[in-house]
Amino acid sequence: MTIDRNIQEINRTMWSYGEYRHVADLLRPGAADLVERLAPGPGTRHLDVATGNGNVALLSALRGAVVDGLDLTDEFFPDARTRFDQAGVTVDLHRGDAQELPFPDASFDLVTSTYGVQFAPDHTAAAGEMARVLRPGGRVGMCNWTARSWTAHFQAVLSSYFPSAAGHQGQPMLWGDPDYLTELFGPGCAVTAERRELFYAFPSADDLISFFATCFGPFIAAKNTIAPPSRWKELRAELVEMTEQFHTTDERGTGVPVEYLLAVVETRGDR
C-alpha cells in the first residue's frame, strides 16, 4: 500500500504532544484485562502495536514473552524504557506505522493493540499487516473504543471542529464492533469479543476535560491550531456538557465510565 506521509507525520506530531503517560495510567486496567485474557507464556513471540509507553508490553514481558513494541511516536519510548528497566524486563521498541509493519511474515505468535490501531487511517491495511506478521494459528488481541463510549462522543465533538479526510479516517470506532472486525480480518479468522468498561475517576466533567487538555496530544493539537482562538472556549464547553451526560457516582466512586470492546481474533493453523 501507499501511505500518505503527510498524514503520517501530522498524526505522529499530534500524538507526541502532552504527557501521554498520564493518559496511559487511565488505560492500564484494560491492558491488564487483555494480557490476562491472552495469557502469553514464556517464549511467546509478541508484537504490541501502538505500544505507547508499554502498558501491554510490560505485562507480557513479565510473563516471559519475547516482546517487540511498535509506535508511530517514539517520544513515548524513554518512559517505556524506564518502566521496563525498573521491572527488570527487556522489550525491543521500534518506531513504525501499523499500516506498514517492519517485520517478516509469520514473525509472531501474538499481536496486540490497546486503543491504538483503531486510529490508523487505513483499516484494511492495518488489519492486513497484523494478520501478515502473525504465524498460522496465532492470535490478535485488542481493546477498542466502541461507538457509544465516552471516547466516541469526545472524538465526534472534536471532529465537528476539525473535519477528517475522506475514507475511514475519523471512523476509528468501527473497530469497536465485533461484526466489523469479522469483516475486516476475513473468513479465515474467528472473533470473540465482550464489552467492558474503564472508569475515569474525576470529581467533575470539567476536571476530566481539563486533564485531557493538558495530557492528551490530539486535544492539545486542537487547542494550538483552532481558528479563531475564541472557538477553543466553545469546543471546551461543548465537551464539558457532553461529559456531564456520562459523569456518575457509583460503587467505583465519582467519574466517567468508558466502554470498550475486548476482542480476540484467532487465525486458522493451516493458512
Residue 168: predicted pLDDT: 46
pLDDT at 166 over 50: no
In whole angstroms, give the CA distance from residue 140 to residue 127: 10
Write down the pTM of the prediction. Answer: 0.91
- What pLDDT digit, counting tens, does each position of 175-221 carry? 999 999 999 999 889 999 999 999 999 999 999 999 999 998 788 88
Structure confidence at residue 167 (pLDDT): 47
Q: What is the pLDDT of residue 3?
A: 57
Band (pLDDT 50/70/90 cuts) for residue 63 is very high
Q: How confident is the model at residue 223 (pLDDT cuts 50, 70, 90)?
A: confident
pLDDT of residue 217: 78
φ and ψ at residue 75, rounded to 5 degrees: -65, -20
With cut-offs at 50, 70 and 90, classify the pLDDT of residue 164: low
Percent of the chain clearing pLDDT 70 (strictly above): 89
The number of beta carbons lying within 10 Å of the beta carbon of residue 147 is 18
Could you tell me the sign of the dihedral formed by the alpha carbons of 64, 31, 111, 37, in that order? Answer: positive
pLDDT tens-digit readout, 109-137: 999 999 999 999 999 999 999 999 999 99
